[in-house]
A and B are shown apart, each in its own frame.
Chain A
Amino acid sequence: MKPLPLHGIRVADFTWIGAGSFTTKLLADHGADVIKIESSGRMDSLRSSRPYKDGVPGINRSGYFADRNSSKRSITLNLKTEAGKDLAQRLIATSDIVANNFTPGTMEKFGLGYEAVRAIKPDIIYIAMSMQGSAGPEHKYLGYGLTMGALTGLQFLSGLPEREPAGTGTNFSDHIPNPCHAAFAILAALRHRRRTGVGQYIDVAQTEPTIALLGPAMSDCSANNRIQERSGNERAPRAPHGVFRCRGQDRWIAISAWQDETWAALCKVLGDPAFARSTQLATAHGRWVNRHTIEQGISAITRYWDAEDLMSALQIAGVPAGVVRTAADIVDDDPQLRHRGHWVKLAHPEMGESVYNAPPFRINDAPATPVAPAPLLGQHTNEVLTTILGLGAAEIEALRREDVLT
């Protein structure tokens, strides 16, 4: 077994809520020493967001917080005090990366803007992940994951054309586009620093990675003058392509069988139904034109099938098909995710054993996994001040009395 890829890298982590914390989780689960700097006065608001262990609220009981903060350490510093700022600066002086996703200007208020930090640690990699970037006419506008989905176009484009835009049903940008882009930028900057000794400032506007993923829709609009409409589960020229009802309460299967071979295989599994024999359906184009008839015909049969049985039958026949799994299904019953070891159970001092996401990839010889549950608020304050900053017990006690470590 080799050391994890980011072993030896330290992150002074000022991120909170979604996108920032998920970015530094990726680094922490791969061996970086991520020290989350919090304060009880201005806590990460996910600590007070549902769900809680057993439904009982508590700052160390939120699952929303926990999954985003595995493998990290937590210290509490009161950055409104000079001594608190000084400790933050001393910690930064030992760090490779400083991360935050505050509104622009917040870190500057604490004396921890890029210029100030660079004066302490010239080769620092400093990433700021505000909602709309560090400058511009709307850079101080308020926003959260859901309003961001609205700004990026992903919400407008997802859902049914005649209904209000649906989006993904989640704060999507927070969980995949922003953390992945931010982590990639940090890693690229680490490579540059390793080769040249030069650190840098990275500015990620939390709207822009998602818009970047929608490049084809943007060029369809700019070049073809077309504003794409929501199309439900239709993806031209694919038909049949969609979600079909199965037996039981709210059970569904996703099927894409638009090519000649997969269409033939689907029909065979469904018992060669009469509607499917029409010569109009012999070509992909004919199936697209008649997609509504086809999809009704398929639903009329699938509703008598168990979704898991149908997926197995279709996959054996080579048809792309997948049960629309619920959270319960994928935690308890997905044999592939179990094989991958995706869900990791970690024992948390207050929450007991709870479920965490492992990284969704495996690097051979160094498989990363969350090694520690989310930290309690301030759990590692003494440890970090002692082992990294070399403070003695008496000094720490004095700081505590002066309200610096709250």
Chain B
Amino acid sequence: MYDAAIKPRIGETVEAWSVPGLAASGAPAALTGIRVLDLSGLAGQYCGKQFADLGADVILIEPVGGSPVRREGPFLDDRAHVEFSLQFAYFNAGKRGAAIDLDRPEGQHIVRQLAKNADLIIESEKPGLMERRGLSFASLVASNPKLVMTSVTPFGQTGPYANYEAEDIVALALGGLLYLGGYPDTPPIAAYGNQAYLAAAQFASVASMMALLAADEGGDGRHVDVSIQECVTMGLETAIQFYDLEKTVRKRASGEQIMAGVGVFACADGQIYLMAGGIASTRFWANLVNWMVDEGVDGARQLLEPAWQSHDYLSTPEAKTIFRALFAPFAEKQTKAYLYQTGQSRRIPICPINTPWDILTSRQLEYRSFFVSQKHAPSGRMLTVPGAPYQLQETPWRQARPAPRLGEHTSEILAELGYDAAARAALLKSGVIN
């Protein structure tokens, strides 16, 4: 796979990224031989990345002016430029890139030709737009019977909201997750990091893979219709069931202990999350209290009284107040690392609230060689980014080629289709490609 010892160094260049179908180690790739056309934006590009990282040949097709994701920060060195978006660089690593105007007949013709040899098309246009371009599933599958097309839209292809506008926060709102986020005394607060778009991209990957297996099995091509709103509803934990079964509506509740011993506590260099009750039941309670006693917390022994074994009591304001008064002064003097390592060694579910820096320097993730170095081609810099989110022993996740520069592979891909140099020059001159 990759060498865990490689740490990014400014100016370092690594040219030997793997070719589709074969990891650097020579191990086979699970998705070798699958050709993907990724026409999507924020709501789909992680899906294309998942396919690329397991060995599919993924071609990102973006507008001649560049994917809108190129305009999303953060930017390398804060340089707001289409080649410096770290978001674009991360979500498009492993793909080849072609810039083609899909609103022009010549551009549409190119995609129709590409679709003949594609296994999967991922797109996130408004419902109806692909059809107006002559690129609907029905028309493309006619010349490629096993084609799978996955369409990711805010609300799905049909229905009363099908033409509604949405951004990530709107999908989080209508999917019910936004209402659960934040503090009781503030407006609802959205989860960080485009989680609605990413939820849709992840479910798009699962659905696409199922449809590909079905098509491969001797079935026909499939059209997959992914609704971002509907994907968000999968992340509501117990909220739906609390309403359905007990007729209570769950609300946002951050900033308070869920019950005594479950919640966020400040420490010397940040915060930790302690979970000594709840789903974990109370089987860790004695470990926690004994730790506090050993650390010299005055009054901790009272927590060994029988009342503290009851969920009902732990949920009372009195229990929460008593527990905080005992635990908070102790935690405040210690570091995240001390509380985590010492608490875990005593079999207590306690974890640091990690910052990105804590995660980049985690010894567990380092042991697993989770972070990888990836070249940022326009600057020549090496970026440290998350690597394999799953370790498949026989068909490992592969260190991918860097994200394509705008139009980097346009010419190569058109040449593969048989366009000669003169034809490519003409398309470039007329602005159909970039």
Contacts and interface: CB of A to CB of B under 8 A. Distances in A.
Interface string A212-244: 111111111111101110111101111001111
B297 interface: no
A207 to B, nearest CB: 8
A26, A45, A219, A243 — which one has the most chain B CB atoms within 10 A of its CB?
A219
A224 B364 contact: no
Nearest to A168: B191
B34 to A, nearest CB: 8
A388 B316 CA distance: 49
B97 to A, nearest CB: 18
A244 B178 CA distance: 12
Interface string B3-33: 0000010000000000000000000101100
B156 interface: yes
B187 A184 contact: no
A30 B206 CA distance: 11
A45 B277 CA distance: 13
B187 A361 contact: no
A6 B210 contact: yes
B400 interface: no
Contact of B170 (A192, A213, A254): A254
A5 B254 CA distance: 40
A170 interface: yes
Interface stretch (A87-95, A144-152, A273-281, A377-385): A144-152
Contact of B213 (A55, A190, A256): A190
A154 B191 contact: yes
B193 A331 contact: no
Contact of B160 (A192, A235, A320, A339): A339
A320 B206 contact: no
B356 to A, nearest CB: 4
B296 interface: no
A328 B230 contact: no
B244 interface: yes
B253 interface: yes
Contacts of B252: 166, 169
A375 interface: no
B271 A222 contact: no
Given A168-B195, A224-B77, A150 B351 contact: yes
Given A5-B211, A169-B253, A17 B279 contact: yes
**Interface residues of B, dominant DSSP:** mixed
B189 A160 contact: yes
Interface in A183-220: 183-185, 187-192, 194, 196, 198-205, 207-209, 211-220
**Interface residues of A, dominant DSSP:** mixed
A191 B216 contact: yes
A138 B176 contact: no
A156 B353 contact: yes
A20 interface: no
Interface string B354-389: 111111100111011011000010000101111011
A62 to B, nearest CB: 8
A327 B273 CA distance: 26
Interface residues of A, number: 157
B233 A360 contact: yes
Contact of B169 (A145, A224, A233): A233
B235 interface: yes
B303 interface: no
Interface in B241-279: 241-246, 248-255, 262, 264, 266, 270-273, 275, 278-279
Contacts of A141: 344, 351
A340 B156 contact: yes
A17 B225 CA distance: 29
A350 to B, nearest CB: 11
Contacts of B195: 168, 172, 176, 213
Contacts of B211: 5, 363
A226 B360 CA distance: 12
Given A150-B273, A181-B390, A208-B389, A51 B238 contact: yes
B167 interface: yes
Contacts, number: 515
A147 B273 contact: yes
B76, B203, B205, B220 — which one has the most chain A CB atoms within 10 A of its CB?
B203
B227 A340 contact: yes
Contact of A180 (B176, B183, B202, B395): B202
Contacts of A209: 389-390
B193 A168 contact: no
B236 A324 contact: no
A17 B392 CA distance: 23
A324 B275 contact: no
Interface string B167-211: 111111111111111110011111111010011001111110111
Nearest to B391: A203
Contacts of A202: 390-393
B209 A187 contact: yes
B254 A30 contact: no
Contacts of A324: 173, 178-179, 188
A233 B252 CA distance: 15
B388 A170 contact: no
B99 interface: no
Interface stretch (B87-95, B110-118, B407-415, B416-424): B87-95
B284 interface: yes
Contacts of B162: 336
A54 B381 CA distance: 59
B236 A327 contact: yes
Interface string B267-303: 0001111010011110010000000000000000000
Contacts of A244: 187
Nearest to B397: A185
Nearest to B270: A156
Given A227-B357, A337-B229, 17 more contacts: A63-B240, A64-B241, A158-B190, A159-B182, A168-B181, A168-B195, A170-B236, A184-B205, A188-B54, A214-B193, A214-B356, A217-B356, A219-B86, A321-B170, A325-B179, A326-B179, A330-B174
12 contacts: A63-B241, A136-B368, A144-B279, A158-B192, A169-B254, A172-B235, A254-B170, A320-B167, A336-B156, A360-B227, A360-B230, A361-B227
Which 10 A-B pairs have CB atoms at the shortest separation, nearest pair first?
A: A63-B241, A339-B159, A166-B254, A180-B202, A136-B367, A254-B173, A360-B230, A200-B394, A222-B384, A169-B180
